[in-house]
Amino acid sequence: MYGFPFFWLLFFFLLIQPSLKQWNLQRTRHGLIKKLEQQRKSRVITLIHRQESVGFLGMFSRNFISIEDSEEVLRAIKLTPKDMPIDLIVHTPGGLLLAAEQIAGAMSKHEAKVSVFVPHYAMSGGTLIALAADEIVMDENAVLGPVDPQIGQFPAVSILKVLEQKPISEIDDNTIILADMSKKAIAQTRRCVYDLLVRNEFPEDKAQEIAVTLTDGRWTHDYPIMPDEAKQLGLNVTFGIPEEVAALMHLYPQAAQRRPSVQYVPLPYQRPTSNGKE
């Protein structure tokens, strides 16, 4: 009988504890974003997709670039004065091409400087968004990726190769339709990349070269374009992620696992001097 109220108190605490934890996490994120904005005198926007534990019983959602993302980013850009720089922190595997193109288009039209920070990776649609920036700031180990379109589960370029390697009489109607869609998707994506680069004052021939390189399927879709290679391609890449951006990434934890796959003491170390003293 005496344990009955305690049981309900415990149940109530377990019910609201995830929400309280998430609220505190959001409050900490907003504080760090405001600090970064004050330092850089800019509008800071995050586009971070992690498999994050949310809600009761620790259920998680895995996120990609969506229409909801583009709506929020476009709303943030509209709330930003035209002469205020925008810093967009991107960490994403990609997602819906339409949403990525909307974000990239809005960023490229912003009159003040736009910087995209890539602390870890910005693949596919994330790379397309980065191409709209005046400056891509990458960690030395961060990566971008190709933006070649994918039709269903197959690369558009690979579908087109079927038409090259087999007689048309041996190809089924469904594959022919997919090939037609692939051809259009490649042309549209290539044109989008070209337009973004030309708006950023790239020479037309260089913009065309980069657009072809990123969309012609010479690499697999998950090919990692390291910062040095991105610079060789001609992209405006600089190095050095601010400490606040790195700290912000720690506030977007992955979903908890029963057995963590990576463990370490989360402190910076200093190498001992020759006499054994710090």
Question: Is-contact 71 28, C-beta < 8 A?
Answer: no
Same domain, yes or no, for 105 and 233?
yes
The residue-averaged pLDDT of 40-48 equals: 95
Residue 264 belongs to some domain of the structure: no
Same domain, yes or no, for 77 and 130?
yes
Same domain, yes or no, for 39 and 153?
no
Confidence of residue 29 (pLDDT cuts 50, 70, 90): confident
Same domain, yes or no, for 153 and 46?
no
**What confidence score (pLDDT) does residue 60 get?**
44
Kindly report, residue by residue over 156-212, the tens digit of the pLDDT.
999 999 999 999 999 999 999 999 999 999 999 999 999 999 999 999 999 999 999
**What confidence score (pLDDT) does residue 26 get?**
80
Extract the tokens encoding 29: 């994120």
Average pLDDT, the chain: 87
Where is pLDDT greater, at 152 or 1?
Answer: 152
Q: Rounded distance, CA 24 to CA 253, Å? A: 13
3-state class (DSSP) for residue 138: strand
β-bridge pairing 52-53 and 60-61: antiparallel
Residue 115 belongs to some domain of the structure: yes
Looking at the chain, the whole-number percentage of residues with pLDDT higher than 70 is 82
3-state class (DSSP) for residue 51: coil
Same domain, yes or no, for 168 and 141?
no
Confidence of residue 12 (pLDDT cuts 50, 70, 90): low
Contacts of residue 31, Cβ cutoff 8 Å, sequence gap at least 6: none
Residue 168 belongs to some domain of the structure: yes
Question: Is-contact 202 99, C-beta < 8 A?
Answer: no
Q: Which range among 8-17, 46-55, 76-85, 141-150 shows the weakest confidence by mean pLDDT?
A: 8-17
**What confidence score (pLDDT) does residue 251 get?**
84
Confidence of residue 56 (pLDDT cuts 50, 70, 90): very low
**What confidence score (pLDDT) does residue 233 get?**
95
**What confidence score (pLDDT) does residue 2 get?**
52
DSSP code, position 255: P
Confidence of residue 50 (pLDDT cuts 50, 70, 90): confident
Q: Rounded distance, CA 260 to CA 200, Å? A: 43
Residue 184 belongs to some domain of the structure: yes
Kindly report, residue by residue over 57-84, the tens digit of the pLDDT.
444 455 789 999 999 999 999 999 999 9
Question: Is-contact 145 93, C-beta < 8 A?
Answer: no
Same domain, yes or no, for 95 and 54?
yes
**Full-model pTM:** 0.83
Contacts of residue 16, Cβ cutoff 8 Å, sequence gap at least 6: none
Same domain, yes or no, for 49 and 180?
no
Same domain, yes or no, for 200 and 210?
yes
Domain range for 195 is 147-221
The residue-averaged pLDDT of 200-229 equals: 96
Residue 9 belongs to some domain of the structure: no
Same domain, yes or no, for 193 and 236?
no
β-bridge pairing 52-53 and 43-48: unpaired
Same domain, yes or no, for 67 and 185?
no
